[in-house]
C-alpha cells in the first residue's frame, strides 16, 4: 500500500512541476527580440528627431525670410508714403462703417489686435489674405476695385502681374463710370428738372466733357495724328517735289 501511495504521489509532483517550465520559456522568449529591436528603434527615433528638428528650423527660416522681405519692401520712401495714404483711407472706411479697431479685428479673426492699428498708421504691410477679408467686410458691394487698389499698394509685384495681363482695366473702367454717375447723384436739383431742362444740362455736360477730353488727350498725346516733323519724308517724295 505504501508503494502505491508513493507511485500516486510521484506523478502529481511531476504534474505540478511541469507548468513551471513554459513560464520560464515565456519569460525568456520576449527577452531575445527586445535585445535585437532596441538598436533599430533607437536609430529610427534618432532619425525622426533629426527630421523634426530640420523641418521646424526650415519653417522658422522661411517665416523670418518672409517677414524680412516684407519689411525691406516697406523701407522705400515711396512705399512708406503709399502705405501711409492707404492706412488713412482704411481708417476712414472703418470710421464711416462705425466700427472700432477691436470690432474689425474680431470680425477678421485676428489674434493680434495691434496689426490693424499698425496698418492704419502705415507701419505694417497688409497681407493679401487680409485684403480679401477686408473687402468682404468693408466693400461687399464692390470688392474688386478695393482688392486691386490695396494690392497695388502692399503687393506691387502681384499688381504688376495683373497689370500685364490687363486684368486691372475692367474694374478701372467700371470705377470711372461710377464716379461719373456719382456727379449726377450728388445733385438733387437735377432730379427736379423738366425733360427740356435736363436735356440742356446734358448737352452742356457733353460739350464740356468733349472739350476736356480734347485738351487732356492733347497734353498726353493720345489719338493725335503724326505731324510732318515726326515723319521723315521719303527720298522719292523729295524728288517729286523738286520736279514739280
**Does some domain include residue 57?**
yes
pLDDT of residue 74: 46
Residues 82 and 48 in one domain: no
| Residues 68, 75: Cα–Cα separation, whole Å | 11
- Give the Cα separation of 56 and 54 in Å (integer): 6
Among 166, 190, 216, give the residue marking a domain's end.
166
Q: Are residues 62 and 114 in the same domain?
A: no
Same domain, 159 and 81: yes
Supply the CATH number for residue 109's domain. Answer: 1.10.260.40
Residue 211: the pLDDT is: 94
| Boundaries of domain holding 98 | 77-166
Residues 107 and 125 in one domain: yes
Please identify every stretch of the chain with a pLDDT value under 50, giving residue numbers as ranges.
5-6, 11-15, 17, 23-36, 54, 62, 65-74, 227, 229-230, 233, 236-242, 244
Q: What phi and psi values does residue 156 have, to the nearest 5 degrees?
A: -65, -30
Distance CA 244, CA 240 (A): 6
Grid coordinates given for 53: 528638428
Q: Are residues 121 and 69 in the same domain?
A: no
Answer yes or no: do 112 and 55 share one domain: no
Whether residue 159 sits in one domain with residue 101: yes
Residues with Cβ within 8 Å of residue 107, at least 6 apart in sequence: 99, 137
The contacts of residue 104 (CB under 8 Å, 6+ apart) are: 94, 116, 137
Kindly state whether residues 98 and 86 are assigned to the same domain: yes
Asked if residue 82 is part of any domain, the answer here is: yes
Do 157 and 81 lie in one domain? The reply is yes
Q: Given this model, what pLDDT does residue 26 score?
A: 47
Same structural domain, 87 and 68: no
Using one digit for the tens of pLDDT, what is the confidence trace for 196-243? 999 999 999 999 999 999 999 999 888 655 545 445 545 544 444 445
Give CA–CA dist 155/220, Å, rounded. Answer: 28
- Does residue 55 lie within any of the structural domains? yes
Residues 84 and 160 in one domain: yes
Is residue 148 within 8 A of residue 168, CB to CB? The reply is: yes
- pTM assigned to the model: 0.43
Domain count, the chain: 2
Amino acid at each position: 500500500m505504501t508503494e502505491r501511495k508513493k507511485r500516486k504521489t510521484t506523478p502529481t509532483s511531476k504534474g505540478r512541476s511541469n507548468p513551471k517550465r513554459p513560464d520560464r520559456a515565456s519569460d525568456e522568449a520576449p527577452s531575445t527580440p527586445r535585445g535585437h529591436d532596441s538598436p533599430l528603434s533607437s536609430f529610427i527615433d534618432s532619425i525622426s528627431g533629426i527630421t523634426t528638428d530640420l523641418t521646424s528650423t526650415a519653417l522658422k527660416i522661411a517665416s523670418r525670410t518672409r517677414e524680412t522681405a516684407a519689411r525691406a519692401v516697406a523701407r522705400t520712401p515711396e512705399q512708406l508714403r503709399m502705405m501711409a495714404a492707404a492706412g488713412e483711407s482704411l481708417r476712414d472706411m472703418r470710421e464711416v462703417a462705425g466700427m472700432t479697431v477691436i470690432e474689425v479685428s474680431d470680425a477678421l479673426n485676428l489674434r493680434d489686435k495691434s496689426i490693424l492699428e499698425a496698418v492704419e498708421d502705415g507701419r505694417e504691410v497688409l497681407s493679401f489674405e487680409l485684403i480679401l477679408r477686408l473687402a468682404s467686410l468693408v466693400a461687399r458691394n464692390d470688392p474688386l476695385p478695393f482688392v486691386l487698389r490695396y494690392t497695388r499698394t502692399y503687393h506691387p509685384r502681384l499688381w504688376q502681374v495683373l497689370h500685364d495681363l490687363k486684368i486691372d482695366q475692367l474694374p478701372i473702367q467700371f470705377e470711372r463710370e461710377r464716379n461719373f454717375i456719382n456727379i449726377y447723384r450728388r445733385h438733387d436739383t437735377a432730379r427736379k428738372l423738366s425733360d427740356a431742362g435736363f436735356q440742356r444740362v446734358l448737352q452742356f455736360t457733353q460739350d464740356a466733357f468733349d472739350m476736356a477730353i480734347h485738351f487732356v488727350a492733347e497734353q498726353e498725346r493720345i489719338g493725335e495724328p503724326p505731324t510732318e516733323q515726326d515723319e521723315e519724308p521719303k527720298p522719292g517724295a523729295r524728288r517729286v517735289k523738286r520736279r514739280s
